[in-house]
Amino acid sequence: MRVLLLGDVLSKIGRNALKIGLPQLKEYYQIDLCVANVENAAGMFGITKKVKNVISNCGVDIMTSGNHIWDKSEGVELLGLDNDILRPANYPEDVPGKGHLITEINGTSVAVINLQGRVFMPAIDCPFRTVDKILRELEDNIKIILVDIHAEATSEKLAMAFYLDGRVSVVVGTHTHVPTADERILRNGTAYQTDLGMSGPFDSVIGMKKKETINRFLKGIKQKFKIGGEIPVIEGLFVDIDNRTGKARKVERILKKIDEKECQ
């Protein structure tokens, strides 16, 4: 199975990047399944039904999220209605939505699990114990398992990868909007990258305009961030997975720059 996992889709800039670039990526890599994190897809925070439909039409099959998925009430409602969007599984059980799903791609079952870290993040349930519980409940025939851990600390994401090595096919981190150059296949067959990056403006400070962000650091005064920057990009990870064993066979980091004129 050929899988494409994409970092946080940021606002209209990120959505436009997907419109232009994702079909090309899917064709080039012959992708069977595309997963993207959408917690920042509507404006800066959250998601709406309209935005979700746009992302689906771009070619994203399953959407994961993180702490900002709760920022728009319409997005929270989607969690309880739609089967292709997840919230982190380690939120308390009585919140809307679900933290993992199982889909079938060309006759092969695939599980997608969404987790959230706790270091420098909201105090929620343990992601390590939560994923253990989910894995115990999965049927034995499900060999391909994809995990998005939405977390701030690189150490927490890397620890999760080693903890799950050999038990899942892929562990990728999201949240920081900055792609890491540590893509690899771990000893027991799990593909890993600490952070996928984002679909958004490359020439920016994690998707925000440079001037306002620099002034915030220089002056120590809280100023409103503005989304923007030059060179729309799609960042993520391509993984080729053995259907029979669920082990990763190949990984390739994705950084696709889009011609700005095409995004007008």
* Domain CATH number, residue 248: 3.60.21.10
- pLDDT-based confidence at residue 123 (cuts at 50, 70, 90): very high
Q: Which range of residues forms the domain containing residue 188?
A: 2-263
Catalytic residues: 68
Structure tokens given for 233: 């990009």
Into how many domains does the chain fold?
1
Alpha carbon distance 117, 151 (integer Å): 4
* DSSP label of 181: S
- Taking only the tens place, the pLDDT of each residue in 183-204 is 999 999 999 999 999 999 988 8
- Residue 160 Rama label (left phi>0; alpha psi -120 to 50; beta): alpha
- pLDDT category, 245, cuts 50, 70, 90? very high
Query: For residues 255 and 253, what is the distance between their CA atoms, to the nearest angstrom?
Result: 7
Q: What is the pTM of this model?
A: 0.94
d(CA 146, CA 108): 13
Output the six-digit token pair for 109.
């079952």
> CA distances (Å), 211 to each of 206, 207, 217, 227, in order?
13, 12, 10, 11
Average pLDDT score, the chain: 93
Which segments of the chain are extended strands (E)? 2-6, 8-9, 33-37, 62-64, 100-105, 108-116, 144-150, 170-174, 184-185, 191-193, 198-203, 230-241, 248-257
Q: Which helix (H) or strand (E) holds 177?
A: none
Name the percent of the chain lying above pLDDT 90.
81
Q: Could you tell me the two tokens for 120?
A: 């420098």
Task: Report helix angle 73-81 to 49-58, nearest 10.
Answer: 60
Note the pLDDT tens digit of each residue in 97-119: 999 999 999 999 999 999 999 99
Q: Which residue has the higher pLDDT, 210 or 254?
A: 254
In angstroms, rounded to a whole number, what is the distance separating the alpha carbons of residues 186 and 147? 14
CA distance 183 to 251: 7
